[in-house]
Structure 1
């Protein structure tokens, strides 16, 4: 282990704390200060507006559905990557990290190119089946799923690798099928990784802006989410309203992470 002098330790601590303060704490403090600059009254007035209520409910609905989809596919892909060997495994693992390296705006444009009803690759065919993806809740959920996809997988994969498959093999040798092994052996072992991945995915989904803006159409009381409403209010010089909605979104995300951190066993993922 590298030994460093006390002054260097303090310098590193100051740099780390300063970095977090200027990058995270100060902007968050500004949001809270501006949201409550005129007291609680204006804040309550903002959330009494039908457009705000609809935007918040729509955001929550899309986020929950996206998280549930990513939960199912995230756990499945994690088990596939860790427990099985197959052609294209490395490519799949690389593609999972694609949402972390591609701008959400690009994701939205890609969905628009593929599923646009008029000139998209599959849009006309999909609309012939009675489905509408772009400028609807379906497209917004797809965009949100894409940007939050890696969060569950990257929490679960390391835990699966660490616990190994000895217990699973023992269960199968005693006659347990895949379903019984998953519910009684695998899932209990990765439950905290799954929970933390879900919380991170929820926080990411609540704050999604770029991809959703492209595929939603941003129609008030129809496809306008809370993040899009924040932009709309800010551009219309309603800064207290914009900061109030931003504060609520940030508060929900931080609250979820804090609660999970408090409930999570000190031993870590495995117990």
Structure 2
């Protein structure tokens, strides 16, 4: 222990150089660009935000984005926890392949994701699209397609948060609960879920943040119909290209604020829980 403390006290020039490089990298890549969005949003006070909420089409875009993000997050939370339990608590053929397949949305472009969904569910030439549309169900250029695209790109986030925690806590407590007569469902709710609670919450927050900011896949499947399938990220592009930069900054600020606020709240709650 004393050796470790001695090593920590020895901070040479290299340590400070590395620290400075990391801080500078984060500042130039994250902090500064985001701060510019904030300053440009409030350059004329609250005029930009007032313009956003006064425009019915922009409000509809924000509402659609929030709805799609919440639904996609709910879907990914349920399936993410289920897939995590399957990967950690079971041995089967193709397990590694399934684990790699889950990371596919992170490896391919969102544009490719959107195009893939169009090829499967599109009304013209899609595998299932014509049949679904004949039954009165439209996926592409409608809200279901936006939700599917959003859920697809954010799929791995809950899984990658929960799997390491499940591996760390092991199965001893679960086996003890089962041996005492608890059902599988009771064991999950009273033993497993409390153990992975914070991993699930972080996964949900990351998924929500990723869903709110999705652009590429949504642009392909939504059709960008004003007041119907235009999301907030598409509205940012449209406003910026049409020389309405203040409104674009304001919408971007709202999206970023929700994500940052979620992360801050979760961090504060976790710190408070650990202190108690």
What is the aligned-residue RMSD (CA, Å)? 1.6
Ranges of 4+ aligned residues in structure 1 off by more than 3 Å: 1-5, 265-268
Determine which of 233, 236, 256 is the counterpart of 2:262. 256
What's the counterpart of residue 66 of structure 1?
A: 72
Q: Does 1:9 align with 2:15?
A: yes
Shift in Å at residue 6 of structure 1? 2.0
Q: Distance in 2 between matches of 1:34 and 1:208?
A: 22
Q: Distance in 1 between matches of 2:76 and 2:41?
A: 32
Deviations 1:167-206 (A, max 9, x none): 1111111121110110010001101110110000000000
Q: Distance in 2 between matches of 1:221 and 1:87?
A: 47
Shift in Å at residue 115 of structure 1? 0.8
Instruction: Write the mapping of 1:1-271 to structure 2, written as runs, cut at 5 A.
Output: 5-265=11-271
- Normalization by structure 2: what TM-score? 0.94
Q: Distance in 1 between matches of 2:38 and 2:222?
A: 28
- Normalization by structure 1: what TM-score? 0.96
Shift in Å at residue 129 of structure 1? 2.8
SS in 1 for 2:214: coil
Q: Distance in 2 between matches of 1:130 and 1:179?
A: 37
Q: Distance in 2 between matches of 1:197 and 1:266?
A: 19
Q: Distance in 2 between matches of 1:111 and 1:202?
A: 21
Shift in Å at residue 29 of structure 1? 1.0
Shift in Å at residue 101 of structure 1? 0.8
Shift in Å at residue 5 of structure 1? 4.4
Which consecutive unaligned segments of at least 5 residues does structure 2 have?
none
Q: Distance in 2 between matches of 1:189 and 1:224?
A: 39
SS in 1 for 2:225: coil
Which consecutive unaligned segments of at least 5 residues does structure 1 have?
none
Deviations 1:38-87 (A, max 9, x none): 11123212221101111111100000000000010000000000000112
Q: Distance in 2 between matches of 1:42 and 1:110?
A: 37
